[in-house]
Amino acid sequence: MKLYCLSGHPTLPCNVLKFKSTTIMLDCGLDMTSTLNFLPLPLVQSPRLSNLPGWSLKDGNAFLDKELKECSGHVFVDSVPEFCLPETELIDLSTVDVILISNYHCMMALPYITEHTGFTGTVYATEPTVQIGRLLMEELVNFIERVPKAQSASLWKNKDIQRLLPSPLKDAVEVSTWRRCYTMQEVNSALSKIQLVGYSQKIELFGAVQVTPLSSGYALGSSNWIIQSHYEKVSYVSGSSLLTTHPQPMDQASLKNSDVLVLTGLTQIPTANPDGMVGEFCSNLALTVRNGGNVLVPCYPSGVIYDLLECLYQYIDSAGLSNIPFYFISPVANSSLEFSQIFAEWLCHNKQSKVYLPEPPFPHAELIQTNKLKHYPSIHGDFSNDFRQPCVVFTGHPSLRFGDVVHFMELWGKSSLNTVIFTEPDFSYLEALAPYQPLAMKCIYCPIDTRLNFIQVSKLLKEVQPLHVVCPEQYTQPPPAQSHRMDLMIDCQPPAMSYRRADVLALPFKRRYEKIEIMPELADSLVPMEIKPGISLATVSAVLHTKDNKHVLQPPPRPAQPTSGKKRKQRVSEDVPDCQVLKPLLSGSIPVEQFVQTLEKHGFSDIKVEDTAKGHIVLLQEAETLIQIEEDSTHIICDNDEMLRVRLRDLVLKFLQKF
Amino acid sequence: MDGQTRLGMLHRLLVLFWPPPQTESVILSPLSFSIYRGHKIQHSDWHKEPLRIMDPECSRLLPALCAVLADPRQPVADDTCLEKLLDWFKKVTEAESSLLLLQENPCLVELLSHVLRPQDVSPRVLSFSLRLAGTFAAQEDCFQYLQQGDLLLGLFGEAGTLGWAAWNVPTVRSGWIQGLSSLAQHPSALHFLADSGAVDTVFSLQGDPSLFVASAASQLLVHILALSMHGEAVEHHSPQGSAWPTCAQKIVGHVEESLRSTAAPQVTQALNVLTTTFGRCHSPWTEVLWEQLSPLVACLLERDPIPAGHSLVDLLLSVARSPVFSSADCGLWETVAQTLSRLSPTQAGPLALGTLKLQHCPQALRTQAFGILLQPLACVLKATTQAPTSPGLLDGTLGGSMTVDALLSSKSACAGLLCQTLAQLEELHPLPHRPSPWPQASLLEAVVTILQLCDGSAAPGSSVGGRLCGTLAGCVRVQRAALDFLGTLSQGTSPQELVPQVFAVLLEYLESPDSSPTVLKKAFQATLGWLLSSPKTPGCSDFGPHIPLFLGELFPVLQKRLCSPCWEVRDSALEFFTNLSRHWGEAPTLTQQLLRDPESYVRASAVTAMAQLSSQGLHATLASPEHPEAEQGLLREFLNILSADSEGFPRRAVVQVFTQWLRDGHAEVARDTEQFVATVLQVVSQDLDWEVRVQGLELAQVFLTQKLGQPGHCPYTVALPEAPLPRLRPEVLRTLCQPWLLEFAFRALFDCDRPVAQKACNLLLFLRDKTAPYAGTQETGDSPHLDSMEAALQRWQAGEQGQPLGDPEPEAMLAVLRSLDLEGLQGRLAESSDHVEKSPQSLLQDMLATVDILEENEADCY
């Protein structure tokens, strides 16, 4: 059993598990932090961005000044943003049988895999994962395609040149494999390969293994996966949450008794408590608006935004913000808000029960109805007519490199009355803000990451008791910025196996059993014999038939019957002409004292017993014979006296059971 | 059922739902009697204290009651009745001869004899009877009387209660012990105890599964020991143990045996008995006892683990506090020192604190105890700092490995030890004889480090520090304890270089989104402590050099906290701000918005804060500098809250603010005081919250005082020569007798809530006394005003609130005022609400009545 680790990002994993005869890809995360090295794509012509000076080497050589621009001491690539793909060279991805997706954030690299690697298998994911994943991809494609960039920089990627660049460009990994965003056509084609699954549904893969998605409590339709055969169980935990937010709670019980538990997608900000952060978010939002400023919340179009809107729904009246407009701007804003209301069976119990009232499960429906929340596909069109300040704007992309958020950063960045509040934990807010410096706008960082923290993980591991834990190496040591926080790492016994990008792990676990079925007629013919209370044995003679990874014992083939009038008894003896007369199988153990007594009774004298490490040696000194009794063998060593040997053998056999 | 019984029962019912304001209306409303002097109704005597405790009426009721108690088919309604009954009997026997009582009321002895047949009695009544018998037998003659019939032996002897099935009920065992405790008052009782074998039973009850019984058994042993030694100490001067009375020897022998036992519960029992003994008895024989037992106690220290550590600490402290040992050198201090060094840090802490609180303890021991107390903090400092900067804390605290182990063993152990230590040091800090030198700097450093460990901002160098950091991160309990202690430390002189660190860590907590509301509140309190204790320097502000910088950073944090979605946070931020604004001239602009907060507590705090700002003259600039009418707006806003807010807290806050404004002569009020008071009282009189109405009366009182001068004279001031009374000018009189004022006061007099009526009564008394000298200057006679007023008052008294007072002449008002029996009313209002059924007669009647009711109900069933 092997694990190929194609991504080094702990929360955007992409691993391939070879288990029995199957090759299973676990998630398909796309590392978008690479886009932070690029200049933002402004929706409206930005004189500031277009007039940034080109970057030149220390010696004044300016051959890169078309590709690289400098802003407040940082260097950015002036090109269409590119993403860092999972490893494609480590394993032949065309051999991947299935891809299991755990949540919509972890499927963003799917088109790269399904469309460009020769992949011919199936992708499994829940319906909300697919629908919201599609929205995220659609938004991404839209953000990038609607600002066409003539230039595509590639000179800087040259290894010799990259070495000369300042950090962080110099240290960027595998820049040669970075790719531009996929197209909508590729997205559609990739999504067409997905087969929808429901929680706890058992999916057979080639008869060899069974995979099952379980609720993971993190996002709408998010799942952990169990991959099991009859005697082995691998759990894949990715992006799980124990907090009570909108999704169905995490199913922990089903993870019990795993041989291997692959653990990814823990919280990225282990020191930030989501409750405290939500409070911080609300306080800063209200403070800014009351002081007449605008609030910008860079966010994804789905996920935490639902919870934020719910908090605000309860908060805005009490904070006197009823008259402040809330805008949600995304090409998929409308679909996201509406989708969230229709996936009732994927929601937590409270929200599910609302549907029966019937009420919309999320209160943002009411915010929209009362015109407190308005949504627009983009800043162009209706939005510009309705726009009024001060206001609160939710818009993407959280990297601040593309999407409508770029416009608002340019628009509001100059005033210290305004605030940008970062709630998505995926990007370093300082790096995200770098191309907008100098910035007068206030910046508040309240990352809301509801995924498991280390305390919860240690409780979870105690409860589900996996034999082995496998996790990204980041989880086996404290975060670099807080190297003394020994509590911010996975602490389990035996220590977790860690992996990094491009590692291949041999999972520490041997398969020992295989399930074989016995045909009923064969089973019928068996004559079990009880050798110990509760344990019966029978000998079987059969033909092992293996097909589709299923093993079946069938009755041995009957030979052709030359004549039909023979008696049954004869036929039976002829049925197995090739079978040798089988020696009976023996079982049991020989009690030495009784054995010696028996020997004495049969006329042997001068018997000596020696204890050995493995059992006993019975010495018949007179007969110059030695009987070695061990747990699973008995040897009678005598000199050419076959009669004696047979006599002794029969005495030994008296103590054993035969069948 | 007569009226009183009904009242009594009703009251008991009401006690369950205490304290709704209406409860008082039923029992206390002055409606039940007239308040007019002229035609006062004679009150019945039932509320008066009876002259003799056992009055004939009670004597008459007793046989019936005893019969009820003895009858198992008539269950007693509740235990409280029996308790009250017992209390009453105690009172009776304290005042009168028990023997006489029993002779006059033979039913009592019958009851006691009856319970000897246990199958007929409920455990409650049995327990009651045991205690009752003990109460009677406390007097020696009565004891002899009861002994004659072997009644006591039957009740308390081995052949008695002990053999019954009811003995399994803890109440019965408890009653048995309490009965014996009451009984054991005289030498005869001692003989009885010895002969009846009761002491052995008490020994076994020390391990009773019921904690109450076990504890009472220990107490009883101490009581018996003290009683048996009582006579001895007088005759001989602290005789040696072997010469002690048999009973005492038996008890001491039992204690010795228990101390030698290997079973921890036994040791605990022995230690508890000794602790109580040394705590209660301060005769010389206790010294002999200690001499005899201290070697055994010392032996306990050699065991591993030490059994009953907590009880051992209690014993040592009890001995050390006993005046008998204040001067004697009896090896006590050695034992304490040894115990301190042997006990685990958690157990040693209380002993160390107790030792440090002793006045007369040797200096070496104090040093050792203080070292133990400081050890956990020293460990924290050692684990987190590379080079210890403050030697004070680390000196003499060697052997901290046990402490380190305790700190690292588990999260709860670590938090428990640190919280205990911080609380103990906090307790020690204000004591005049606290250890000196007090390591203020090291303590500050340690507590700041703990706070940093708790919020994850510390960067410890050692592995122990790293583990501590992981253990303490986010631990709210420790955060609260540390912030409390940090606040306490502000009361000392701290090195200037540490103060910025303190403010930095406080700011971290105030800023951190992860600070829980309770932690935040503590952080606010500590911050206030440090701000106000900082040395004042002449210059730009009242505060020390660090303060302006800190305040500059604090201000945005405070702004943010005022917007928190959590109301507790908004409330504590406002409270902090209100306290701070007394000393500081800036105001967050958001305060006014919080007057409309959805949470009533926050609105109330906002009212106080805004009032504070307004008193500082800050409100005008705050609201809008260009609008001079801002202040006027605030008054309107407050009046609006007073009349419209749905919750009581903000309304109470507003009236309090108004009262304060009136006292201080706030500009807003001074403009037209009369109009102001009239408006406020008009609103207040309609308020449903009695506290608001009381506050309104307070406002009226202040108003009257300002018009008329201080109420009464301080009895200790030297009487000045009688100054001629200033002539009360007619316009003042007219002001005082404004209908709005008097109508408010009179209506309040009939208020269904007692505190309101009391306050109104006091107010009217004050007014009457102040205007008394002018009485009769203009006789009003039977003016129509007077008649209509009396009519109105009578209607109000009868509960009809509708009729207005009209607009009578001031003289008529004063006349009515004088005609009222305000003193009488004041006296009646001062009586507690349960004065009626406190009377024993009522109790007896109630108990009998309950049985009747139960019988009736039973009959209804068929």
Cis peptide before B305 (omega within 30 of 0): yes
Query: Percent of chain A at pLDDT above 90?
Result: 58
**Mean pLDDT along residues B149-174:** 80
Query: CB distance A282–B563 less than 8 Å?
Result: yes
Alpha helices in A180-303 (DSSP H): 184-191, 274-290
For residues A610 and A617, the answer to whether their CB atoms sit within 8 Å is yes
- List CB contacts (< 8 A) between B469 and chain A: 484-487
Query: Percent of chain B at pLDDT above 70?
Result: 76
Q: What is the pLDDT of residues A465-514, one digit of tens each?
A: 999 999 999 999 988 888 878 888 998 888 999 999 999 999 988 888 88
CA closest to B599 among chain A residues: A318
Assembly ipTM: 0.75
Mean pLDDT of chain B: 77
Distance between A274 CA and the closest CA of chain B, angstroms? 9
- List CB contacts (< 8 A) between A487 and chain B: 469-471, 473
Give the position of tokens 């006329």: A603
**Which phi and psi angles does A349 have, rounded to 5°?**
-60, -45
- List CB contacts (< 8 A) between B508 and chain A: none
Question: If interface means Cβ-Cβ distance under 8 Å, which residues of chain B face chain A?
Answer: 456, 458-460, 465-467, 469-471, 473-474, 512-515, 559-561, 563-566, 569, 589-590, 593, 596-599
pLDDT band at B41 (very low <50, low <70, confident <90, very high): very low
Give the position of tokens 């051999």: A95
Query: CB distance B569–A311 less than 8 Å?
Result: no
Q: Which of B515, B561, B598 sits opposite A318 (nearest CB)?
A: B598
CA angle A651, A657, A658 (to 5 degrees): 100
Q: What is the pLDDT of residue B665?
A: 84
- List CB contacts (< 8 A) between A278 and chain B: 565
Which two three-digit tokens encode residue A519?
């045909």
Distance from C-alpha of A7 to C-alpha of A90, rounded to nearest angstrom: 11
Q: At B412, which amino acid appears?
A: S
Cβ-based neighbours of B409, under 8 Å, separated by 6 or more: none
Higher pLDDT, A110 or B737: A110
| pLDDT > 90? residue A336 | yes
Strands laid side by side in the A15-19 sheet:
A194-197, A122-126, A98-100, A22-26, A15-19, A2-5, A504-506
Q: What is the pLDDT of residue B18?
A: 32
Q: What is the pLDDT of residue A372?
A: 92
Assign A239 to helix, strand or coil. coil
Model-level pTM greater than 0.80? no
Q: What is the pLDDT of residue B862?
A: 41
Q: What is the pLDDT of residue B632?
A: 65
Q: Which of these ranges, A605-614, B275-284, B825-834, has the smallest mean pLDDT? A: B825-834
**Mean pLDDT along residues B497-507:** 89
Q: Which of these ranges, A410-424, B519-533, B782-796, has the smallest mean pLDDT? A: B782-796
A420 touches chain B (CB under 8 A): no
Strands laid side by side in the A497-499 sheet:
A203-205, A209-215, A223-228, A233-238, A260-264, A468-472, A497-499
Assign A445 to helix, strand or coil. strand
| pLDDT > 60? residue A428 | yes
A319 touches chain B (CB under 8 A): yes
| pLDDT > 50? residue A553 | yes
| pLDDT > 90? residue A329 | yes
A279 touches chain B (CB under 8 A): yes
| pLDDT > 50? residue B38 | no
**Mean pLDDT along residues B632-648:** 86
Higher pLDDT, B56 or B215: B215
CA closest to B512 among chain A residues: A276
Distance from C-alpha of A86 to C-alpha of A98, rounded to nearest angstrom: 16
Q: What is the pLDDT of residues B659-700, one digit of tens each?
A: 998 988 888 788 888 888 888 988 888 888 889 999 999 999
For residues A439 and A433, the answer to whether their CB atoms sit within 8 Å is yes
Cβ-based neighbours of A532, under 8 Å, separated by 6 or more: none
Distance between A483 CA and the closest CA of chain B, angstroms? 8
Q: What is the pLDDT of residue B669?
A: 81
**Mean pLDDT along residues B807-824:** 75
Q: What is the pLDDT of residue A612?
A: 86
CA closest to A288 among chain B residues: B560
Query: CB distance A486–B469 less than 8 Å?
Result: yes
**Mean pLDDT along residues A263-270:** 93
A286 touches chain B (CB under 8 A): yes
| pLDDT > 90? residue B852 | no
Q: What is the pLDDT of residues A200-253, one digit of tens each?
A: 999 999 988 999 999 999 999 999 999 999 999 999 999 999 988 889 999 999
Q: What is the pLDDT of residue A506?
A: 93
Distance from C-alpha of A348 to C-alpha of B386, rounded to nearest angstrom: 50
Q: What is the pLDDT of residue A418?
A: 96
- List CB contacts (< 8 A) between B512 and chain A: 276
pLDDT band at B23 (very low <50, low <70, confident <90, very high): very low
A536 touches chain B (CB under 8 A): no
Alpha helices in A166-303 (DSSP H): 184-191, 274-290
Compute the count of residue pairs across chains A and B with CB atoms less than 8 Å apart: 76
DSSP summary character for residue B49? P
Distance between A469 CA and the closest CA of chain B, angstroms? 22
CA closest to A290 among chain B residues: B590
CA A553 to chain centre: 36
Query: CB distance B469–A276 less than 8 Å?
Result: no
Q: What is the pLDDT of residue A104?
A: 95
The upper half-sphere exposure of residue A540, i.e. CA atoms within 13 Å in the direction of its Cβ, equals 18
Cβ-based neighbours of A7, under 8 Å, separated by 6 or more: A13, A14, A15, A29, A31, A86, A87, A501
Q: Which of B458, B474, B559 sits opposite A287 (nearest CB)?
A: B559
Alpha helices in B473-584 (DSSP H): 476-489, 499-511, 517-533, 547-562, 567-581
**Mean pLDDT along residues B263-281:** 89
Q: Which of these ranges, B149-158, B288-297, B441-450, B481-490, has the smallest mean pLDDT? A: B149-158
Q: What is the pLDDT of residues B208-245, one digit of tens each?
A: 898 999 999 999 999 988 888 876 654 455 556 667 88
Q: Which of B459, B565, B590 sits opposite A315 (nearest CB)?
A: B565
Strand A516-518 and strand A550-554: pairing?
Answer: parallel
- List CB contacts (< 8 A) between B470 and chain A: 485-488
| pLDDT > 90? residue B482 | yes
| pLDDT > 90? residue B483 | yes
Query: Percent of chain A at pLDDT above 70?
Result: 96
For residues A212 and A197, the answer to whether their CB atoms sit within 8 Å is no
CA closest to B384 among chain A residues: A484
Q: What is the pLDDT of residue B728?
A: 60
Burial class (CB within 10 angstroms; exposed 0-12, middle 13-18, buried 19+) of B31: middle
For residues B543 and B536, the answer to whether their CB atoms sit within 8 Å is yes
Q: What is the pLDDT of residue B11?
A: 36
Angle between helices B547-562 and B517-533 (to 10 degrees): 150
